[in-house]
């Protein structure tokens, strides 16, 4: 257990585990949505996975909406990679930026959870529909995340090839 915790990077801790724990604790304590686990090991894996979903939701759903609304603006990825070589603090700032996005995503997902819980309590027949919508939603979310991550890898390879020429 201790060796697993030692291998978790600060990025994973602040962008996956922290938002997952926050969402699960707030959902459980304030909205009676039982997500807290009795087992520490099961809890860590669940909270990490919930945080991963939160992070991917932020990247795939929230980020494009915020860009479209001109609330956030990004530099070109190739410019980011060049700048990181000159200023290592940019990576820390980017990690912090992603943490804020993940926490914002956790709050949006919490609102959706509370809304879903209210719908289920009000219209019990919708319960099975919402339950069965979760798996396809996760399938789409992680499929799009895989595509986005693959695009970043390709951009990074191109950038490295261009700088070595």
Q: Is the pLDDT of residue 129 over 90?
A: no
- Look at residues 66, 58, 85, 81 and name the one whose alpha carbon lies nearest to residue 148: 58
* Domain range enclosing 75: 2-164
* Stronger pLDDT, 163 or 67, i.e. the higher one: 67
| Of 35-44, 139-148, 156-165, highest mean pLDDT | 139-148
CB contact set of 76 (below 8 Å; sequence gap of 6+):
none
What Cα–Cα distance (Å) separates residue 28 from each residue in 2, 22, 32, 82, 114? 26, 10, 5, 44, 11
Q: Is the pLDDT of residue 82 over 90?
A: no
Q: Say how far apart CA 152 and CA 65 lie, in whole Å.
A: 19
Among the residue ranges 9-13, 35-39, 41-45, the one predicted with the least confidence is: 9-13
Q: What is the average pLDDT score of the chain?
A: 90
Helices (H) and strands (E) counted in the chain, each on its own, are: 8, 0
Q: What is the pLDDT of residue 165?
A: 62
Total tally of structural domains belonging to the chain: 1
Instruction: Report yes or no: 23 and 30 within 8 Å, Cβ to Cβ.
Output: no
Write the DSSP symbol of residue 75: -
Q: What is the pLDDT of residue 63?
A: 96
Polymer length of the chain: 165
Instruction: Report yes or no: 39 and 120 within 8 Å, Cβ to Cβ.
Output: no
Write the DSSP symbol of residue 38: S
């Amino acid at each position: 257990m201790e060796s697993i915790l030692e291998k978790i990077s600060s990025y994973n801790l602040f962008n996956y585990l922290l938002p997952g724990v926050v969402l699960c604790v707030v959902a459980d304590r304030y909205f009676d949505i039982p997500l807290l686990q009795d087992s520490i090991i099961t809890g860590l894996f669940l909270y990490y996975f919930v945080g991963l979903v939160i992070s991917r939701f932020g990247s795939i759903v929230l980020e494009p909406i915020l860009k479209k609304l001109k609330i956030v603006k990004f530099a070109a990825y190739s410019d980011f990679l060049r700048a990181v070589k000159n200023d290592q603090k940019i990576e820390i700032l980017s990690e912090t930026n992603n943490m804020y996005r993940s926490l914002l995503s956790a709050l949006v997902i919490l609102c959706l959870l509370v809304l879903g819980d209210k719908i289920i309590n009000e219209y019990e027949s919708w319960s099975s529909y919402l339950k069965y919508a979760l798996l396809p939603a996760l399938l789409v979310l992680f499929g799009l995340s895989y595509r986005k991550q693959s695009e970043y890898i390709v951009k990074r390879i191109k950038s490295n090839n261009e700088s070595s020429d």
